[in-house]
Amino acid sequence: MHEYAVTQSMLNIALEEAKRAGASKILEIRLVIGDLSTIIDDSVQMYFDIMSEGTLAQGARLAFNRVKAEFKCRECGEVFVKPPKGFDCPKCGGLGMPTDRGKEFYIESLEID
């Protein structure tokens, strides 16, 4: 359900930037979303479709760019992409801890008319 709030914030930012640029329509919003953010693309799309009705963003395409989560091994310092299961370092088998990579949620760019 947190997708509702982040979608509302994202839409507000996009509308503000589009108005500042003198746009008559937002054609596309490119989002960067980290795998650890727990944001679900389909939920963002659903809320966006509802919230954007009657705005410059109505009918705009959302483009989702997913960022893989990176972890750093406590034992050897290896930085690695989180494996499908677990958090083990592929180099030494030690426990990996999350880095900041994979927690993103931001607008990368807007395509406007």
Residue positions in the annotated binding site for Zn(2+)?
Answer: 73, 76, 89, 92
Count of residues in the chain: 113
**What does the block give as tokens for 110?**
């807007």
Q: Are 17 and 110 in contact (CB under 8 A)?
A: yes
Contact 88, 97 (CB under 8 A): no
Paired sense of beta strands 70-73 and 26-34, if any = unpaired
**Binding site members:** 2, 73, 76, 89, 92
Binding-site sequence positions for Ni(2+): 2
Residue 38 in contact with residue 66, Cβ under 8 Å? no
- Which residues sit opposite 64 in a β-bridge? 31
